[in-house]
Chains A and B, each alone.
Chain A
Amino acid sequence: MLAAVGIHVTEEGKARARAKLAAADAERTPERRAAWRAQLGLPPVTAA
């Protein structure tokens, strides 16, 4: 699909993306997730 759009991704590019996703994952701490949910009036997530 990406090639059909004219976007050509390399392994190096995917490694960059992997690092961005990991950094975003690390920023979503339980405390921050709870803060967002409280801000939006969503119920807290309970542990499974």
Chain B
Amino acid sequence: MSGDEERQRPIRIVLDTSAIIEFTRQSIHVGELIAEVDDEQCAIAISVLSLAEALHSVADRDRLDLLVDHATVVLSADAADWRALAATYDIVGRLDTAAAALAAIDHDCAVLTRRPSLYAGLAGGGPVIPIED
């Protein structure tokens, strides 16, 4: 699938930093969701802030490159949303987490995360799909 084709698909799920790291550690839970989203002709999205944060913790950067180049839409921060990003930051306590949450809410989808507690301050615990142990 080309990057252009990926970008034209509706975003079905956002991977936060923890989910990106889990992917590079060959998480079957993350893989199953990526495969299912692809079958639904939809796209996975990641925030550029999550990507930059994940890079610090990822041992296998080739896998990170594969994720970016072949499976995802990379979302940059929208200047018009800076107040919403700041408000989300106040709630979740991390800028990368805030970017993931804001992207999910904006695109009406869920965040895949290993750390659902980060989103606990959002109504109902936020739009999250927890990664199982």
Given B33, B70, B108, which contacts A33 in the complex, CB threshold below 8 Å? B108
The CA-CA distance from A27 to B106 in the complex, in Å, is 16
Cross-chain contact B124 with A35 (CB below 8 angstroms): yes
**Least CB separation from A24: chain B residue:** B110
Are A42 and B106 also in contact (CB < 8 A) when A18-B36, A21-B129 are? Answer: yes
Taking CB atoms, residues of chain B closer than 8 Å to A16 are: 32
The CA-CA distance from A45 to B106 in the complex, in Å, is 10
Cross-chain contact A42 with B31 (CB below 8 angstroms): no
What number of A residues sit within 8 Å (CB to CB) of B?
30
Interface set, chain B 39-97, CB cutoff 8 A to A: 39, 63, 66-67, 70-71, 81, 83-84, 87-88, 91
Are A17 and B36 also in contact (CB < 8 A) when A2-B31, A40-B87, A41-B87 are? Answer: yes
Taking CB atoms, residues of chain B closer than 8 Å to A35 are: 123-124
Taking CB atoms, residues of chain A closer than 8 Å to B88 are: 40
Please encode chain B, from 1 to 36, with 1 for each CB lying within 8 Å of some chain A CB and 0 for all others: 000000000001100000000011011101111111
The CA-CA distance from A26 to B35 in the complex, in Å, is 21
The CA-CA distance from A9 to B27 in the complex, in Å, is 10
Given B28, B33, B66, which contacts A4 in the complex, CB threshold below 8 Å? B66
Cross-chain contact B105 with A5 (CB below 8 angstroms): no
Q: How far is the CB of A26 from chain B (nearest CB, A)?
A: 11
Cross-chain contact A7 with B27 (CB below 8 angstroms): yes
Taking CB atoms, residues of chain A closer than 8 Å to B31 are: 2, 5, 7-9, 13
Cross-chain contact A27 with B63 (CB below 8 angstroms): no
The 11 sampled A-B contact pairs (Cβ below 8 Å) are A7-B26, A7-B27, A7-B28, A9-B28, A9-B31, A9-B35, A14-B32, A17-B36, A20-B33, A35-B123, A39-B122
